[in-house]
Amino acid sequence: MSEPWYDPETGFLNLDPYVVKRPSFRKVMEDGHVTEEEVAEQADRVISRLKSVEAIADPVARKVAIDALCEMAVLYTLERHRHSKVM
């Protein structure tokens, strides 16, 4: 069975096990410095993957995926905002 996307006990997202295994993440983090070019390459990678999902998803799956991605973006933005206030 694959890793769950969230912790079944807390309900919190649990994507770290996936992220640390991604070649894209490992390559960028080798030197511990994230460049603008690496961010742009990752953005391109994301768009490519979203296009792949869009090509195979039926309308219901597409709506669910968009909803989940948008809510994840809200969470990410809230976390960044909260973190910037703490620093």
d(CA 11, CA 22): 23
Nearest one of 3, 45, 52, 49 to 24, comparing CA atoms = 45
Across 71-75, average pLDDT = 92
pTM: 0.77
Q: How far is CA 45 from CA 18, 40, 50, in A?
A: 16, 9, 9
**18 Cβ contact partners less than 8 Å away, ≥ 6 residues apart:** 3
Please, are residues 3 and 14 in contact by the beta-carbon 8 Å criterion? yes
β-bridge partners, 13: 6
Label residue 84 by pLDDT band (50, 70, 90).
Answer: confident
Domain boundaries defined on the chain? 1-56, 58-87
